[in-house]
Chain A
Amino acid sequence: MSDLRERLQELADVAARQGRTPGPEAALRGARRRRLTRVGGTVLLAIALVAVMVGVDRLAGPAPLTPTATTRPSGTTTSTSPPDVSIAPDPGAVQRPAGSPPGKAGERMVRDVATAVAECRGGPPDPPTVLVAWGKGHDRTWLIAAAPPPPGEEELCWADGLFEASGAGGFSKNSSTRRTMLEASGSQNIRSGNQYWGYVVGPVTKRAARIRVLFGGGISPLELVPIQSGDRFPVNFYAGFFRQPKEDKNLEWFVTRVIAYDSAGNKVAECQGSPGPGHSC
């Protein structure tokens, strides 16, 4: 009777003989098509950003705001030293760096966001995924993880998560580019006691020294400082909570505009909250 190696080899030989793939030309065509799509998306985004900035500049009139005192994500505690996370996408164990969210629940949170980054990359975690920052606020733990883009690669994969103490919660994988200036996404209706909170997170150009988030619904603007992601990343990140006056039953995002300023108070990027559900900017 043959052993496992021999039987596996027989299966492999049959599969290699019977298998039909479209060939190298199809792979090259697919790669070219994706590159073009990505470049096209970047160009459209740049055009949209320029259009928005020109339009808003014309409307804005007076000089930009001078920097004011800024805050970390409001009402949160933050760990900002970016440790490498040795990840093992589900179901492997996670080797957590010192200082990451504690306990089994923390382990699951790190694994979830790290897995999301790996999925965005569509491949092995090479180079490593980094837990850029995490913090706690309003009975939730938030995390931002990202993979430094390899030299010559345009795409930046990152993920954010928002979890309850038990580890239950949500996370999303995001794809930005090296040239991303400012993006925002987030969630709302985060209940803590009798109060509802919203959460806003995103990448921002390294030129930004502070970020102002403007809201509808009479919510006061939020001032944030970027989380320094280090030299391995082409952008920094930011995250913050805002207090909702009431539950958002219409699922309209309260965020209307996000503006990034440099250290001299000049506006360096801006994005408009998209109307309707979607929670992006």
Chain B
Amino acid sequence: MARTGSFEEFYTGSVGRLLGQLFPVTGDLHEAEEVVQEAFTRAAARWSRLRDYDVPEAWVRRVAMNLAVDRARSLRRQTKAMLKLRPPPEVLPASVEALALAEALRTLPIRQRQVLVLHYLADLPVDQVAHTLSLPEGTVKSLLSRGRHMLAAKLGEAEEVLYP
């Protein structure tokens, strides 16, 4: 289905949602802002083609998710020692439960964070999570299962409470 909206409209309509989805993945709001903006810059370069996509936002989300992984790897490689010196992430005005979740998510491998966010926040079924992350469905199921288990353990809550 062809769409004819402007890039500005597309950006304004989706940037908040994408920031919301990338923040739990990166664990740092500033980092989320950077990857989302970079993904939009790449989208702008391809807008003549992307605007005809049914869901251009899905493309931007995939790029942002890939960038988040790249940056996490790059950070791990280049500034592992420096991480200890970084200031703690900005504290957001959220409930104690949500902040505890953000803290617990930061301890999970980034792929587990991604599948949890895409499945539980973006409401994507497993096959679409697999497509978004270019992973086999079996891998996504396994990451979901491990991620759920680890998250419940970190939060000290039963899995039935977290995933009713």
Contacts and interface: CB of A to CB of B under 8 A. Distances in A.
Q: Do A and B come from one complex?
A: yes
Interface of A: 1-5, 7-28, 30-31, 34-35, 87-89, 91-93, 95, 118-119, 122-126, 150-153
A3 B152 CA distance: 11
B66 A122 contact: yes
B43 A19 contact: no
Interface in B114-156: 116-117, 120-121, 132-136, 138-139, 151
B137 to A, nearest CB: 11
Contacts of A20: 33
B4 interface: no
Contacts of B95: 7, 10
Contacts of A93: 135-136, 138-139
Contacts of B161: 1, 3
Given A18-B29, A122-B67, 4 more contacts: A3-B161, A14-B98, A25-B8, A123-B66
Contacts of A10: 94-95, 97-98
B56 interface: no
16 contacts: A3-B163, A4-B120, A7-B98, A11-B20, A12-B121, A15-B92, A17-B16, A19-B15, A24-B11, A27-B7, A30-B41, A34-B41, A88-B134, A119-B70, A123-B39, A150-B46
Interface in B13-55: 15-17, 19-24, 29, 32-33, 36-37, 39-49
A122 B11 contact: no
B16 A16 contact: yes
A188 B33 CA distance: 42
B164 interface: yes
B40 A27 contact: yes
A123 to B, nearest CB: 4
A230 B37 CA distance: 35
Nearest to B11: A24
Contacts of B45: 31, 34-35
Given A34-B45, A35-B45, A9 B133 contact: no
A139 to B, nearest CB: 28
Contacts of B19: 12, 15-16, 19, 21
Contacts of B121: 5, 8-9, 12
Given A21-B37, A87-B134, A88-B139, A14 B12 contact: no
Nearest to B123: A5
Contacts of A4: 101, 116, 120, 151, 162-163
A30 B11 CA distance: 14
A124 B62 contact: yes
B10 to A, nearest CB: 8
Contacts of A125: 134
Contacts of A22: 37
Contacts of B97: 1-2, 7, 10
A140 B21 CA distance: 43
Interface centre among B7, B111, B134, by most chain A C-beta atoms within 10 angstroms, is B134
Nearest to B17: A16
Contacts of B46: 150, 153
Given A3-B163, A3-B164, A24-B7, A122 B42 contact: yes
B44 A122 contact: no
B77 to A, nearest CB: 13
B63 interface: yes
